[in-house]
Structure 1
């Protein structure tokens, strides 16, 4: 599977990923929601900075995934603290994730900058993490380099 991951533009998440200072993505919630239990080692993440008709600006391979069991606020603080060098979070971002009952940490590798236009428009009901069978199905006029990729 491929994954479209919407990145917070204000926090410069995509820029941190592309520069290599951020090598881990965090998602968390009161319940198990995307990508919890649905992203696996070796899959491809495509990063989009803004919602709406988007431009995929980066891609990476999933190196490892950690899905927590239900955790306490103190346990979430500890988990974030232990992974801070990979997460590269601001204090405001730390506050956003502390206290979530379920946390998914996705470590990435082989990051590269790309430019692919999407065919679909982001809907308000969509999550900030979308799982699709294959990115080529949502990309407008992919350039030759990406046409030649073999998708799962």
Structure 2
């Protein structure tokens, strides 16, 4: 049974099989036996198994599985689902650490508030200008 929508009525599309699997798939397709190539393949298999996907699917088949896995959820329920699964922390480790190092915690907090509709694009632009000014002063 799906939870009722929040007062704002905001609904979000959730992929039970996440779209990030396409990136993992693409990285794993590098030919070769170099350590980075093998690591990419192991990461692909780990992510595929995590979501119950056959790692031997073609990219086209994987895309169909991903699109067929969508459900509509209330925004709060969607965020809670990813939070409980530890997705935010895992996704941060996959690519956000460098961004976090470069831009800091305030940028991540601002991005979250933007995603949740709490601030507008203008707030991102102002903060970005502050970062540029700070970098130029250093």
TM-score band, normalised by shorter chain = under 0.3
> How does the TM-score come out when normalised to structure 1?
0.21
> How does the TM-score come out when normalised to structure 2?
0.23
Q: Could you say which structure has the higher strand fraction?
A: 1
Which structure: larger Rg?
Answer: 2
Higher RCO (CA < 8 A, seq sep 6+): 1
